[in-house]
């Protein structure tokens, strides 16, 4: 049975992990006959968004690991404890948290900073030539990890694609129900909610990503 490390970035599309993407990812992993362990950085979120109003909740702070534990039903570990040798595959669902808490791409674009522990784990999988998959906006991290004109996608948003290319990626436009595969890097990416207009479309996107990355040797 393949073991999958899943990196979460909080709880909620606007300031953490996109919840549908996370649940669909975990479900798809199990349906493919694999198992997973969730991880997240033990840091404060960039900010807290009121998901009812879309406004920043002034004066509120939340911890990325604690919030991610909501999705993982408490079964989660700090990202610093992720040992690449214990896993076969790495998967990162999207949500603004990937571009706000794991890195600052949402705020700083090509000049963004990256969480060092998250970056170290992602790079460890890349160096070990172990397959990895990044959904939605999470390829912003993949662009930094792989660089070298590695093929990846966030869908078809021109400005976001240019930001990934500026970090060293080679962006490929992609429909919501497809994936982009770079076989040399063993990297799979999919647009998910960068393009999905429904949970059904997100499901198609995420399921194809998971099945593709788990099929890689």
- Give catalytic status of residue 103 as yes or no: no
| 151-152 vs 170-171, strand pairing mode | parallel
Q: Pick the catalytic residue: 38, 112, 136, 170? A: 136
Task: Write out the catalytic residue numbers.
Answer: 136
């Amino acid at each position: 049975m393949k073991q999958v490390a899943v990196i979460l970035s909080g709880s909620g599309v606007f300031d953490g992990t996109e919840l549908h993407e996370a649940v669909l990812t975990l479900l798809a992993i199990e349906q493919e006959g694999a198992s997973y362990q969730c991880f997240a950085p033990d840091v404060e979120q960039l900010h807290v968004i009121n998901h009812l109003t879309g406004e920043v909740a002034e004066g509120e702070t939340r911890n990325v690991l604690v919030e991610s534990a909501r999705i993982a039903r408490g079964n989660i570990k700090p990202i610093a404890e992720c040992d690449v040798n214990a896993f076969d595959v790495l998967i990162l669902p999207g949500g603004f948290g990937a571009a706000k808490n794991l890195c600052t791409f949402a705020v700083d674009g090509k000049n963004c900073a990256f969480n060092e522990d998250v970056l170290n784990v992602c790079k460890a999988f890349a160096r070990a030539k172990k397959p990895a998959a990044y959904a939605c906006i999470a390829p912003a991290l993949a662009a930094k990890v792989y660089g070298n004109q590695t093929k990846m996608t966030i869908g078809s948003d021109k400005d976001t694609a240019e930001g990934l290319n500026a970090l060293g990626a080679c962006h490929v436009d992609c429909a919501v129900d497809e994936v982009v595969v770079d076989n040399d890097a063993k990297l799979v990416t999919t647009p998910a909610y960068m393009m999905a207009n429904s949970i059904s479309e997100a499901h198609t996107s995420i399921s194809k990503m998971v099945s593709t990355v788990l099929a890689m040797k």
